[in-house]
Amino acid sequence: METYRYLHRFPMILILVGLVGVNSQFLIDPQSAEVTQGADHGLECVVNRTYLAGYYFVAWTKDSEVFSARNQIDKVALENINGEDPEDRYTITKIDQGNTGTYKLIIDSVKGVDSGNYQCVICQHPPTSYECTGITDFKSSVATFNVLYTTSVPEYPECTGLDSSATVSVGTQVEVTCVSEIGDPKVQLQWNKDGVPLSSTITEREDNNRLYLIYTFKAELSHTGMVLSCSSTSSHFTSYSESCSFNALNVVDMPVVATTSRAAEYEEESQTTPVSDYSSDSCASAINKSIKCLQIFGKYLDGN
C-alpha cells in the first residue's frame, strides 16, 4: 500500500519505467515470428543513440554471429551463416530521429535457411572502419524467427540403391533409400510397393538437414515386376506432393556380376607394370607360350 501511495504521488516514475524498462539501450526489441516460405518479413529494433557515442554502432546477429554494420550487410559473414545464396535478400534501413535510431532488417522471399535467433547488439569499432571488434553487453532481446517450408531442391525426394536396370540376384539383401530436405514441419516420406504403403523393415534417420528413409528386403523371384516408389508430403503445405521411383524390379536366379574385358585388364596391367620388370628371358617365355597356343589352335581348326 505504501508503495502504491508513493508511485501515485510521483506518476513520472511510472512513465520512465515504461520507457526505459529493463533495457535502456534498446527502446524497442525485435519480435519473434513464424512465417511461411516466400513471404517478405521485417525485424525492427530501436536504440537509444546516446549509447553509440564514440566508436560504437548497431549490428544485427543471427545465432550470435554478426552479419551487419550499421545499415550495411556483410555478405561474406552472412554466407558463412546461411550458406551461399545468389540473391541479395537481406537489406537494412536506418532512420535517426533525435536520440533514437531505428534499424529494420528486411528479408525478402524467406526460406528455411533464414530461420534462427536474431538480435540487435552494440558493437565497438576502430576509428578507421566499422568492423565489429567486440560485442558490448548492450543487446536487445532475442527474436526467434521460424520459417515454415518444404524442400527447395526440385530433385527431392531422391530414390537411391538400384541402378536403371533394377536387376538383382535372388537372395540378395536389397537396401533402397529415399532422401529429402527435412522441411518445417518435417516432410513425411513413405515407401510404397506397387502403390501400396510399406511399413516393415523401414528405418528413418536425419543428418545435416536431410531426412533418410531406408527400406531393406531380401530379393525373391516373386518380387519380379515389383515397382518401388517413395512419396513426400507435408502436413502444413497440403498441396505439396512429390515422389520418385525405380524401374520394375528384375530378380534373376543367378549372380549378377559386372564383366570386364581381358583387353581392358591387359591394358591396365601393362600400364602398372614397369618396363624394367620385363627381362629377355620372360619375353622369350611369353613368345614360346604364344607359339604353342597358336599350334594347338591350328590343330583344333584342322580337326586333329
* Per-residue pLDDT reduced to its tens digit, 154-179: 899 999 999 999 999 999 999 999 99
* 92-132: pLDDT as tens digits: 999 999 999 999 999 999 999 999 999 999 999 999 999 99
Q: Hey, is 21 helix, strand or coil?
A: coil
Instruction: Specify the pLDDT at position 259.
Output: 42
- Return d(Cα 7, Cα 76) in angstroms, integer: 51
For residue 288, pLDDT beyond 90: no
Specify whether the CB–CB gap between 147 and 229 falls below 8 A: no
Q: Exposed (0-12), middle (13-18) or buried (19+): which is 101, by Cβ within 10 Å?
A: buried
- Joined together, the cell numbers standing for residue 93 give 534501413
pTM over 0.85: no
pLDDT at 256 over 70: no
pLDDT of 285 above 70: no
CB neighbours of 122 closer than 8 A, spacing ≥ 6? 25, 47, 51, 52, 56, 57, 58, 59, 135, 136, 138, 139
For residue 73, the model assigns a pLDDT of 95
